[in-house]
Structure 1
């Protein structure tokens, strides 16, 4: 009998069908991978399973019985626990208090038995590799240790199903192996694990089965060992792989030849940041578009942010026109000529409540002012120039950006970046969430900017878009460069083959 079964579940939000007839089965003691690119429906499915959302259609069966959870607490009481990528415990409380929150041991008179709680917390957490003082505030522990506390708490509630959402994103390699030991122990106890991750090496090490979602639909379910990595990537991205070249698609290490007289406008050397980036190295020449390829979670956005000074680094250098930024900060990056278009334009880019004019002007206030007085005429000139050049469709420069279409919002953000006069453009998913026509316009604009001599770094989850828009592609996996695609090897087939290739074995 299945431990957990989702039967023909659908969930629709305004304008978006997040799940479309999805079915999913978890057996007792099974470690089941749930995979798919951004927007595939993984998070929505988890929220349906745990009572955050109610399905519009379909049923959930738990331990052989139809169940409906009105809230996450109902699911937790039934034995379904979730460990999220972002630790959702209370950082100002002690480790022991977080572990036993709501289930504190009591003494004979009904008071919390603090000594017993701390003693049992030490014993439990030792099994998870956590040796920190359990009296410390949780927030003072490294993220990896906090994640282990969250896992221990999830298992302590007599869980029969544990859902792990990107559980290794904050863990060091040693902590990952401890986590896998815990998962194997849970497996032996008959507890079902739903494992969400984009790290294929992990999936093939720890998971027995896999369910793949794409655009809210189920595209495959079955034994993971029966599915080659290249097939897994193909199903996730929706590309046919009948003629994939399986050899000669990756070059580990080495620099690219730079044509005489065209030195790199951007050189990135050895970028390293804890568990996120590992010795990332590449360069970009003037007039060149270099794509960053890889699945979601491969380190593409972290690389963009690190170059732009918005992500902390433990090591590595960034150079613009041969001049080192030393320790990159956003201010130094902007002054050096680096402009960053973030992945989430609404949260990190545009200011929806301001006008088109004000959004563009934000980048040039210092350039258009004298003695602290801003020149409105100069700003108007700049705004009109970029509205015309980028063909921004608005009633006028005073229209609120939040009232524009997604494509025009993206153009406003690009206009702001171009107004700074950059040497390098870092574009993270520049066509996400915009219609086909606007997408084509943005792609054409990127080509024009490169033709004018800008160096461009392009991130896109659309393999075809990345290949068509890039001169070269640097392939990332788990925060490290695993391949360079150049010349006639810049194809969707070679890109997916490089993403799917097993990591090279470490020398003995």
Structure 2
């Protein structure tokens, strides 16, 4: 059936999905036109992921209909969806860590002869895809050796390795720096010029207002509204999405920031680790939020890991003025340091375990009774306290952590470390992949911890976030500290000139 250039390439009408007594989607409607970016916006748990899984054949709808290019569309799995012309780049990476970049990009459609993969052709074909997309990765490298940001770029290349009428991008910039995101935006413009329809899912409001043509808001599994970008605003979209206005997404400080006369709880002098970072010096005072900002490859996350006992860097680390040697994460924990990783799925949580077990994971020794015996009642009470304190939305503390939304999973990771009552809290991308409502809750938690005297060191790829929360900003470029500045009144342009190494 022929479809005119102005007609929708994909139409979703009255789609509903139930899982037993639970309704995940209610009469969902979406109309996606070729050559346009259609953003799907909603809090975690609103139903976005369920809808995407229906579109790629992982779930079958309970009721409703879908058409692609005017024909009924009901794929049985993601491979069939690709063959029919719909491709997805998932937020949660689907790559095989022990395979090369090329093997991951061309998985399921490798060049072969008589069933044997032709490695030379595989690498050459993947290299052409990577080059066409402008991605800074080597196709022969094992995916397990790449950073999270590089893996995200490989995931994008994998999703675009076959021609598609509709491409779904699920939080594609959640682990990318501004410069890496620019590569993606260039790719999107090329796809639009070819007439490809793009369904875009993101929680970054500035990004949404930049690249979207159409925006559909969903809440609690239901369609709320569709609007063209020029007819709305960030404030209007947030109100539609969360059902309330959010006057200031970055809560104000609860107490005065510590003065420069206060001695730092953490001081780092000339810290270096070969190939990762060089001569890094910084300090954090009790009750202070120090942001660490840099482009991908600047070394910022490696510095964070070194401060938590990963690796053996040269240089000096002082806690309350005393030099310490952090030989392992266990050492760091004993010294009152906590670390919220950027990769909650693989490093922060045991997804199949309950909310209670995840929250108490690190602090079991503190919760144990005499002679180290477990105290179930005390553990339950501790978990319930953190659930209330951090407003974690869960049916019970026995619910598997993997079944909760990304924002609530991130709160569990934070709760796990708060159980240790840390003096220093290291946050590596604390709001990666969470919605604006959950971000507000995490920002509130950060403010409360700082007010209680916790020293906080935070990495974030989102410049508005790091400027909105930090008291001081340590800017890294090329694995070194380029500049340390007071964050108050600091402009994004100034930060980026130091981060990009072009400040005069």
Matched, 1:44 2:50: yes
The match for 2:403 is: none
What is the aligned-residue RMSD (CA, Å)?
5.7
Gap runs ≥5 in structure 1: 293-301, 369-375, 388-393, 415-426, 437-449, 487-501
The match for 1:432 is: 392
1:160 counterpart (165, 189, 201): 165
The match for 2:68 is: 62
The match for 2:438 is: 461
Deviation at 1:167, TM superposition (A): 1.6
1:18 counterpart (9, 19, 24): 24
Superposition pairs of residues 385-424 of structure 1, within 5 angstroms: 408=381, 410-411=383-384
Deviation at 1:112, TM superposition (A): 5.3
Deviation at 1:191, TM superposition (A): 0.7
2:364 counterpart (358, 362, 365): 362
Deviation at 1:49, TM superposition (A): 1.3
Superposition pairs of residues 107-506 of structure 1, within 5 angstroms: 114-130=119-135, 134-240=139-245, 244=247, 256-257=257-258, 284-285=286-287, 309=308, 321=320, 330-338=329-337, 347-348=349-350, 362-364=364-366, 377=370, 408=381, 410-411=383-384, 430-434=390-394, 461=438, 463=440, 470=448, 478-480=461-463, 481-484=466-469
Take 1:349 and 1:142, find their aligned partners in 2: how far apart are those partners?
A: 22
Deviation at 1:323, TM superposition (A): 5.5
Take 1:156 and 1:280, find their aligned partners in 2: how far apart are those partners?
A: 43
Deviation at 1:314, TM superposition (A): 11
CA 1:360–1:69: 2 relative to 1, 3 Å: closer
Cα deviation 1:96-148 (Å, max 9, x = unaligned): 444444434456x8865554444333333211224655445454455545444
Gap runs ≥5 in structure 2: 1-6, 292-300, 397-417, 431-436, 472-490, 498-502
What TM-score does the superposition give when structure 2 sets the normalisation length?
A: 0.62
CA 1:336–1:80: 2 relative to 1, 3 Å: same
Deviation at 1:282, TM superposition (A): 6.8
8 Å CA contact 1:350, 1:409 repeated in 2: no
Deviation at 1:316, TM superposition (A): 13
* 3-state secondary structure, aligned to 2:467: strand
What TM-score does the superposition give when structure 1 sets the normalisation length?
A: 0.61
Deviation at 1:189, TM superposition (A): 0.8
Take 2:217 and 2:313, find their aligned partners in 1: how far apart are those partners?
A: 35
CA 1:4–1:332: 2 relative to 1, 3 Å: same
* 3-state secondary structure, aligned to 1:54: coil
Larger Cα-atom Rg? 1
8 Å CA contact 1:250, 1:485 repeated in 2: no
The match for 1:424 is: none
Matched, 1:79 2:85: yes
Deviation at 1:2, TM superposition (A): 0.9
8 Å CA contact 1:94, 1:138 repeated in 2: yes
CA 1:324–1:353: 2 relative to 1, 3 Å: same
Take 2:443 and 2:222, find their aligned partners in 1: how far apart are those partners?
A: 24
CA 1:361–1:503: 2 relative to 1, 3 Å: closer
* 3-state secondary structure, aligned to 1:7: strand
